Chains A and B, each alone.
Chain A
Amino acid sequence: MKFAFYPGCVARGAAPELYKSTMLVVDKLGIELEEIEKAACTGAGVLQEKNQKLGDVLNIRTLALAEQMGLSIMTICSTCQGVISQANHRVVKDPEYLAEINKELEKEGLHYSGKTEVKHLLWILLEDIGIKSLQDMFNIDLSSFNFAPFYGCYLIRPSDALGITENPKRKHSLDIVIESTGASATDYAGKTRCCGFPILLINQKNSLKMVAKHTGDAKDEGADAMVTPCPLCHLNLDGYQAKARRQNNRGKADLPILHLPQLIGMAMGLDAKELGINKHLVSTANFIKSIKTKVS
């Protein structure tokens, strides 16, 4: 199984542990990756506010580069996945617009036919690897753990661009994958809400209220840690949890936030430090200790 890899800016920058844990996990999964080295940033919806066409051209270019490689794309970021899917959705339903963008891409010798598939690692686990085969690769029993899923807005909305109507399981994909490890998926209202990251630098007070609410609620529902397929959500939920909980009287920052491949790697029996679980700003020391004691 081979994919064109689109890691996104955060995995290359502020969250190197996401990149590293992804590499360790895909190796075990038997997924071969070829990075799309020429790909630009997706624009994360921010560039699109200023110039949607520029955003669309850059994302369709990424899809065209993958087409040239003859591969589907794998992403590891809810925002990247969503923004590329939205651009793809716009051109697929509007052939004239696609032709206009292709005219731009031709200058570089590229062409997009509208057929490249782009999938988050989470969906690949569900749809390409399959839960049964995935479970065969797990050798640690996590049944005494409770993990709170946190999807990231752009991995579940808008449902038409993300193919959720055709693949309804995508709506619950993170719950399904968490449960496949034997752990329980925490049920709390915040799992499909906004992490607050997009307004962190605009309205920090509101942004941190979101962080405090979701992490506090998940903790109250018994979560041992939160798992997210989105490194932008991770930046806020992990990086700002201490300040957010303090500012909103929701206690101490006590909920470790894990990247999706870190959970998978843990279930596979990979070393917590190798997976970079000790690299988060919210302390994971007790969590790592509890894995060792509960599992052994």
Chain B
Amino acid sequence: MEAQIKVKRFNPENGAKPFFQDYSIDVSEDSTILDGLIKIREEQDGTLALRCSCRASICGSCSMKVNGSAKLVCKTRIKEVSPQGETVTVEPMSNFPVIKDLVTEMDSFWSKVKSIDPYVKTNFEPEAEHIASNESMTHLLGVMNCIMCGACVSECTALEVDSTFTGPAALAKAYRFVADPRDEDKKERLGKLNESSGVWDCSRCLACVEVCPKDVAPMERIVKMRDLAIEEGYTNTSGFRHTESFSDSIKKHGRLDETRLALESTGLLNISGLIDLAVIGIKSLFKGKIPPPLPHKPKEADKVTNIAKRLDSEESEE
């Protein structure tokens, strides 16, 4: 079959701006996008730069943006993204500097992974292999599937506006050690992750969960670490206050007390933050939008609050 592939080209050496180039190639029905790109490079345009290795979605080298979202091109068939022969657009990953064409520079990716100390830390020198039971490690199987392809980083909406954010891949890796039964540095790790650029800066947009080719679900790990950090006593963050106030409101009223949530998350001692809220509040008042002074409650709200009390105590027992 004939495939139309539009590739974003960029060569810093010739000083030209990035541009799109169209290719038309003959491929088989089950060809992957990587097959197509390699064919273009071998038969039509030897200057096309791309990175790949295993061709079996194990090495994590060939992450690129396909029709706008990051994918391993060796795992994605052309037919899958172009069922009616539509043009397939291939671009380098976002949130990475581009070296040439589809090849991105991974230095910041690796330095962020290194920043979370990606190894088990113990207080003693193990004399032999430091073994954990199978049962105590099964919860880590998902996160250990990560092949460091960078797809989640490419898609991360928080990194898009703040390159200092640790990001989904490194944070998922951090969880892999925070939750390792052998690791003895959990509290210190969580303390560091609780600081700015850490777990609370994730916008919970689910983009990393959606694009991960290995179902690592980085965002779920990040959210889990927020809870673990709170359990370890790291409570001096607006993130903690926000989660706490939100949960309390539902437990007390069954629904959200927006006014209280805004005040408590901001922090009652954060004067500039409170002034900021007041400005929005006053503007809303002028538009005839009066924030409800009392939290709205569902009918028979006690049914909800009883469930909340029961499950809350159940969780704290665990």
A residues sitting closer than 8 Å to B (CB atoms) are: 9-10, 12-17, 37-41, 43-51, 53-54, 57-58, 61, 104, 108, 153-154, 157-159, 193-194, 196, 198-199, 201-207, 209-210, 213, 239-240, 243, 278-281
- Contact A153-B307, Cβ < 8 Å, known A12-B296, A37-B298, A201-B238: no
Contact indicator B200/A202 (Cβ below 8 Å): yes
Nearest A residue to B259 via CB reads A13
- Residues from chain A with a CB closer than 8 A to the CB of B288 are 279
Count, A-B residue pairs, CB within 8 A: 166
Contact indicator B283/A41 (Cβ below 8 Å): no
How long is the Cα–Cα vector from A12 to B255 in the complex, in angstroms?
A: 11
How many whole Å from A161's CB to the nearest CB in chain B? 10
Contact indicator A281/B206 (Cβ below 8 Å): no
How long is the Cα–Cα vector from A16 to B292 in the complex, in angstroms?
A: 10
Flag the segment in B5-13, B43-51, B178-186, B308-316 that touches A: B308-316
Consensus secondary structure, chain A interface: helix
How many B residues touch A, CB cutoff 8 Å? 62
Contact indicator A202/B311 (Cβ below 8 Å): no
How long is the Cα–Cα vector from A213 to B206 in the complex, in angstroms?
A: 19
- Residues from chain B with a CB closer than 8 A to the CB of A57 are 307, 311
- Which residues of chain B in 238-279 are interfacial with respect to chain A, using CB atoms and an 8 Å cutoff? 238-239, 242-244, 246-247, 249-250, 254-256, 258, 261-262, 265-266, 273, 276
- Contact A206-B158, Cβ < 8 Å, known A9-B256, A9-B296, A57-B311: yes
Consensus secondary structure, chain B interface: helix
| CB of B205 within 8 Å of the partner chain | yes
- Residues from chain B with a CB closer than 8 A to the CB of A43 are 246, 250
Contact indicator B258/A14 (Cβ below 8 Å): yes
- Residues from chain B with a CB closer than 8 A to the CB of A54 are 307-308, 311-312, 315
Query: Residue B160 contacts which of A41, A193, A202 (CB distance < 8 angstroms)?
Result: A193
- Residues from chain A with a CB closer than 8 A to the CB of B210 are 157-159
Beyond the given A203-B200, A281-B280, please list 16 additional residue pairs across the A-B interface where CB-CB is below 8 A.
A9-B258, A12-B255, A13-B296, A46-B243, A47-B250, A51-B312, A54-B311, A57-B311, A58-B304, A154-B206, A158-B209, A193-B205, A202-B238, A206-B165, A240-B280, A281-B284
- Which residues of chain B in 61-82 are interfacial with respect to chain A, using CB atoms and an 8 Å cutoff? none
How long is the Cα–Cα vector from A123 to B130 in the complex, in angstroms?
A: 53
Contact indicator A58/B307 (Cβ below 8 Å): yes
- Residues from chain B with a CB closer than 8 A to the CB of A13 are 256, 258, 291-292, 296
How many whole Å from A193's CB to the nearest CB in chain B? 5
13 contacts between A and B (CB under 8 A): A9-B258, A39-B298, A41-B255, A49-B226, A51-B315, A53-B311, A153-B157, A193-B160, A198-B205, A201-B238, A202-B237, A202-B242, A210-B160
- Residues from chain B with a CB closer than 8 A to the CB of A198 are 203-205
Nearest A residue to B241 via CB reads A201
- Which residues of chain B in 117-153 are interfacial with respect to chain A, using CB atoms and an 8 Å cutoff? none
Query: Residue A9 contacts which of B227, B255, B283, B312 (CB distance < 8 angstroms)?
Result: B255
- Contact A40-B157, Cβ < 8 Å, known A13-B258, A54-B315, A202-B200: no
How many whole Å from B313's CB to the nearest CB in chain A? 11
Contact indicator B312/A157 (Cβ below 8 Å): no
| Interface residues as binary, B212-227 with A (CB distance below 8 Å gives 1, 0 otherwise) | 0000000000010011
